[in-house]
Chains A and B, each alone.
Chain A
Amino acid sequence: MHLQFFLLLAAALFCIGVYGLINSRSAVRVLMCIELMLNAVNLNLMAFSNFLDPQEIRGQVFTVFVITIAAAEAAVGLAIVLSIYRNRDTVDMERFNLLKW
């Protein structure tokens, strides 16, 4: 097993997340793409933790924090999506244009 396999997988996942982030029309799907990117980061941290830092495993501690904060962020994101849906009746990113230039 090589460290590079995991890192390449993480990089691919991150890039897929970036693609989805830019091209998604639905706000909920953008949230999902952010979760993908965070998972890529977690995989990076876990791989480094296993291969480079096996005694202290600080990467695992870091990952636990990232997971916690991602959950908080998802909750806040859901609340904001709900409140905007209630006012605007849509989750289409292209139609959130009250604020432009």
Chain B
Amino acid sequence: MDFASLAAQLNAGAILPEVLVTVTLLGVLTIDLVGGRSTSRWTPYLGIAGLLGALGALYYQWGQANPTAFLGEFNADPLSIVFRGLVVIAAAVTIAMSIRYVEQTGTSLGEFIPILLTATLGGMFLSGADELVSLYVALETLSIASYLLTGYMKGDPRSNEAALKYLLIGAASSAVFLYGASLLYGLSGGETRLAAIGAALSTLTPQTASGAVIALVFVAAGIAFKISAVPFHQWTPDVYEGSPTPITAFLSVGSKAAGFALATRVLVVVFPSVLEQWHFLFAALAVLSMVLGNVVALTQTSMKRLLAYSSIGQAGFVILGLVAGTAEGYASMVFYLIVYLFMNLGAFTAVVLFSLRTGTDQISEYAGLYQKDPLLTLGLSLCLLSLGGIPPMAGFFGKLYLFWAGWQAGLYGLVLLGLVTSVVSIYYYVRVVKMMVVKEPQEMSEAVKNYPPVTWSLPGLRALQVGLVVMVLVTSLGGILSNPLFRLANSSITQTPLFQAVPPSIANSRL
């Protein structure tokens, strides 16, 4: 068997984006090894270039005839392409903001970027994995690389502590997930392909149903950990606060998007036979996440912790789309995740920039920033307002679509709760904006009084600036010109075979 026919049989072209990321990873590692520290001036840009190349490869994969690759291990359907794209963009922006950050903290970029790219690779494979073993390996690739990145600032006790907590809770939750996976393997009579497991579970008798529900609970615990839904959120604030800020951004967007890809695929493919149970389970997670995330965020004093709790609340909104269970529900979930990517990364880029210039991320230190750095203030304000769902930002339309889809599906209570909690969330987002914009010059905080002159000439800051501007532009224009994003989200659902079984509106029959 020659190589070409082997590649054709495996349909190896489907993982071209991942191959590009792997090659970039090895390239950065080797160049750093051979060339020494001086190469770190340009290896990050090589990393970004590789990720953009992967994004291009993803674009050309859209709508290919045969998405199944590696004998059913991997599924490159439009759903996976959207989620892989999200992970790749998150990684690229994360590299752009970490160049200066990592240099300034005195650690080395040569290892940081390969580990980040490994996490990206794990997230990408997780979005498309169609089989339990691949799923688990991809999940662990993402997780282990994330533990390492969290603890990367090893001189900082907070970073150590965050890494230890993340590792212990993460490893425990992946063991729980794995126990559920082993039950699935047994219940299906020795199948590991998700579709085959789903088919085997659909012939459930009352005796096997309890086993399926227990497997569901164990698997859901692993998923809820990854998307940091309450009550599996305890690690989130600590890890978000202790990690290097660019990594916090990656965890809150890239890792979370991969978690939602995992959730969608596993729940839709494997558990249609216990549909009511998983809808109930995830509705409960959504309620708890929306309430706890948004209420506890009110009391935060650190910007990173505020964004951590807000991301828990946002996860609650996204689960709403998952629970709706209709094609619109899934499409609104994808749409909101796309919008969330841009607004959250924009906010984090601004936070990184502020902490680079002042060395703090306390909310009170942002007072009066408007006078010293209008661009940063504008970008952060727009992103926060969008996260709060103020029109005409992209976040408003994302929430609107989510709530509309939920209402259509008959989830009246959840939607009302979502509306109330997003009003609560507007309060704490606007509080930060008010702090920056409204304060008189004499009310300025110490950090802002000593604000260094705004300059973009230091190495790495230019990339950060570009990232910030792009994210803010998409966030603010994505609302008015939301059609392309909207079409992308919709067609990712309608063109994905696994959703063909989903009726356009399950809810009508349920009512």
A-side residues, CB < 8 A to B, are 7, 14, 17, 21, 27, 30-31, 34, 37-38, 40-41, 44-45, 47-49, 52-53, 56, 58-59, 61-62, 65-66, 69, 72-73, 76-77, 79-81, 83-84, 87-88, 96, 98-101
20 A-B pairs besides A52-B189, A62-B133 with CB distance below 8 A are A7-B186, A27-B168, A37-B176, A40-B179, A47-B186, A52-B186, A53-B189, A56-B190, A62-B132, A79-B151, A80-B160, A83-B151, A83-B163, A84-B160, A87-B160, A88-B157, A88-B160, A96-B164, A98-B161, A99-B158
Within the complex, what minimum Cβ distance (angstroms) separates A8 from chain B? 13
Question: Which residues of chain B from 117 to 175 have a CB within 8 Å of any chain A CB?
Answer: 132-133, 136-137, 140, 144, 147-148, 151, 154-158, 160-165, 167-168, 171-172, 175
In the complex, A8→B154 CA distance in Å? 42
Which single member of A14, A56, A59 contacts B179 (CB below 8 Å)? Answer: A14
Asked if residues B175 and A37 are in contact (CB atoms below 8 Å), the reply is yes
Which of B175, B178, B181 has the largest count of A CB atoms less than 10 A from its CB?
B175
Asked if residues B164 and A81 are in contact (CB atoms below 8 Å), the reply is yes
Chain B hits for A81, CB < 8 A: 164
B-side residues, CB < 8 A to A, are 132-133, 136-137, 140, 144, 147-148, 151, 154-158, 160-165, 167-168, 171-172, 175-176, 178-179, 181-183, 185-186, 189-190, 192, 237-238, 241-242
Q: Nearest residue in B to A63 (C-beta to C-beta)? A: B182
Within the complex, what minimum Cβ distance (angstroms) separates B138 from chain A? 11
Asked if residues B168 and A31 are in contact (CB atoms below 8 Å), the reply is yes
Asked if residues B155 and A76 are in contact (CB atoms below 8 Å), the reply is no
Given contacts A53-B189, A101-B237, contact A69 B182 (CB under 8 A): no
Q: For the complex, would chain A's binding face be called helix, strand, loop or mixed by DSSP majority?
A: helix
Asked if residues A99 and B237 are in contact (CB atoms below 8 Å), the reply is yes
Which single member of A17, A45, A73 contacts B185 (CB below 8 Å)? Answer: A45
Within the complex, what minimum Cβ distance (angstroms) separates B197 from chain A? 12
In the complex, A38→B136 CA distance in Å? 13
In the complex, A56→B165 CA distance in Å? 38
Q: Nearest residue in B to A61 (C-beta to C-beta)? A: B133
Which single member of A34, A40, A65, A72 contacts B136 (CB below 8 Å)? Answer: A65
In the complex, A61→B183 CA distance in Å? 16
Within the complex, what minimum Cβ distance (angstroms) separates A74 from chain B? 9
Asked if residues A38 and B161 are in contact (CB atoms below 8 Å), the reply is no
Which of B167, B171, B189 has the largest count of A CB atoms less than 10 A from its CB?
B171
Asked if residues B144 and A76 are in contact (CB atoms below 8 Å), the reply is yes
Which single member of A69, A73, A84, A101 contacts B164 (CB below 8 Å)? Answer: A84
Chain B hits for A66, CB < 8 A: 136, 178
Q: Nearest residue in A to B161 (C-beta to C-beta)? A: A96
Asked if residues A99 and B242 are in contact (CB atoms below 8 Å), the reply is yes
Chain A hits for B155, CB < 8 A: 87
Chain A hits for B192, CB < 8 A: 58, 62
Q: Nearest residue in B to A45 (C-beta to C-beta)? A: B182
Given contacts A72-B144, A87-B155, contact A80 B167 (CB under 8 A): yes
In the complex, A84→B164 CA distance in Å? 8
In the complex, A96→B164 CA distance in Å? 9
Within the complex, what minimum Cβ distance (angstroms) separates A93 from chain B? 8
In the complex, A66→B238 CA distance in Å? 28
Which single member of B133, B179, B190 contacts A44 (CB below 8 Å)? Answer: B179
Given contacts A59-B190, A62-B192, A88-B157, contact A80 B151 (CB under 8 A): yes
Which single member of B140, B175, B189, B241 contacts A41 (CB below 8 Å)? Answer: B175
9 nearest A-B pairs in the assembled complex, by CB-CB distance: A53-B190, A84-B160, A37-B175, A99-B238, A44-B182, A48-B186, A52-B190, A87-B157, A41-B178
In the complex, A31→B147 CA distance in Å? 14
Task: Give 9 pairs: A residue, B residue, CB < 8 Å, sorted on A.
Answer: A14-B179, A34-B171, A37-B172, A58-B185, A62-B136, A80-B164, A80-B167, A84-B160, A98-B242
Chain B hits for A34, CB < 8 A: 168, 171-172, 175
In the complex, A53→B179 CA distance in Å? 18
Which single member of A38, A65, A80 contacts B133 (CB below 8 Å)? Answer: A65
In the complex, A59→B148 CA distance in Å? 29
